């Protein structure tokens, strides 16, 4: 079955760029599914960041859109997130997730374990 | 933007109780709604998609209903393992999560 694993620096300096990668195993990133990022600040709820399809199509959270770049690397079966101009408010656990398509979009059925990113000078 | 409002924020119930969580959308989302369960330190788990479809492997005591703007997640007989925070998520227009409902066992 499909598994996801996030990786990237755990510490980012204010005004810097947060960069994370999600490796997909047990399945192909070139399926009909979408690939998403969700974050959760300490003690708070879930926030959708955005999603990408292997075709390169993206959907971004309007509140973060100006700072987000997502990409897919089909050769490595992975997708990535870059969030620029970070502040302490971007400190969170970042999850990658699969948005499964079963004829229609059917929710986020596979999640990575999450990686903690702290914005800290 | 579509806002999702869950109620209550916290609920405490006994094992065997029937529990209902409500989620309201700020505009119609048809049936494009999912429910997730999250336990401390863990990733969310998909329970229900398209408002009422039970995800494979999820116990049948979980059910979802609703369409348009009003939705419910019901646990027919609360079990100790159900202690968690539950989130609704709309996927009609981008994606938005509700603020979460923490379910505690008395």
Q: What is the pLDDT of residues A32-74, one digit of tens each?
A: 899 999 999 999 999 999 999 999 999 999 999 999 999 999 9
Q: Do A106 and B53 lie within an 8 Å CB cutoff? A: yes
Q: What's the whole-number mean pLDDT along residues A75-99? A: 98
Residues of chain B with pLDDT under 50: none
Three-state SS annotation for B41-88: CCCCEEEEECCCEECCCCCCCEEEEEECCEEEEEECCCCHHHCEEEEE
**What's the pLDDT at A29?**
94
pLDDT at residue A103 greater than cutoff 90: no
Q: Left (φ > 0), alpha (ψ -120 to 50) or beta: where does A28 sit? A: beta
Paired with B57 in beta bridges are none
Q: How far is CA A47 from CA A42, A59, A86, B84, B86, in A?
A: 12, 14, 16, 18, 14
Q: What pLDDT sits at residue B27?
A: 98
- Indicate whether A105 pLDDT > 90: no
Mean predicted confidence (pLDDT) in A85-103? 95
Report d(CA B55, CA B96) in Å as an integer: 20
pLDDT reported for residue A106: 87
The tens digit of pLDDT for each residue in B32-50 reads 999 999 999 999 999 999 9
Position B7 scores a pLDDT of 98
The confidence score (pLDDT) of residue B55 equals 96
Nearest CA in chain B to A49: B95
CB atoms within 10 A of CB B74: 14
Percentage of chain A surpassing pLDDT 70? Answer: 100
Which pLDDT score is estimated for B32? 97
Note the pLDDT of residue A102: 87
Beta strand residue intervals within chain A, DSSP E:
3-7, 11-12, 18-25, 34-40, 47-53, 58-60, 68-73, 78-83, 92-102, 104-111, 115-119
Å from A51 to nearest chain B CA?
9
Question: Distance between CA atoms of A102 and A31, rounded to whole angstroms?
Answer: 11
Nearest by CB to residue B44, choosing from A63, A104, A111, is A111
Mean pLDDT for chain A overall: 96
Query: Which residues in chain B have Cβ-Cβ distances shorter than 8 Å to A108?
Result: 34, 36, 44, 46, 89
* Chain B residues in contact with A59 (beta carbon < 8 A): 94
- The length of chain B, given as a count of residues: 106
């Amino acid at each position: 079955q499909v598994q996801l694993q996030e990786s990237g620096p755990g510490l980012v300096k204010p005004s810097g760029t947060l960069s994370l990668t999600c490796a997909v195993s047990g399945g192909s990133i070139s399926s009909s599914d979408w690939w998403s990022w969700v974050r959760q600040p300490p003690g708070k709820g879930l926030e959708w960041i955005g999603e990408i399809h292997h075709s390169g199509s993206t959907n971004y959270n309007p509140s973060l859109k100006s700072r987000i770049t997502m990409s897919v690397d089909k050769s490595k079966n992975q997708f990535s997130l870059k969030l620029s101009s970070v502040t302490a408010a971007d400190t969170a656990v970042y999850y990658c997730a699969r948005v499964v398509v079963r004829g229609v979009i059917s929710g986020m059925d596979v999640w990575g374990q999450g990686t903690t990113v702290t914005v800290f000078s | 933007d579509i806002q999702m409002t869950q109620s209550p924020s916290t609920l405490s119930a006994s094992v065997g109780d029937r529990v209902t969580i409500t989620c309201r959308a700020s505009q119609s989302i048809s049936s494009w709604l999912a429910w997730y369960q999250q336990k401390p330190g863990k990733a969310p788990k998909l329970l229900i998609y398209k408002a009422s479809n039970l995800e494979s492997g999820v116990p049948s005591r979980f059910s979802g209903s609703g369409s348009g703007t009003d939705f419910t997640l019901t646990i027919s007989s609360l079990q100790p393992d159900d202690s968690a925070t539950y989130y609704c998520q709309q996927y009609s227009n981008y994606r938005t999560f509700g603020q979460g409902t923490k379910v505690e066992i008395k």
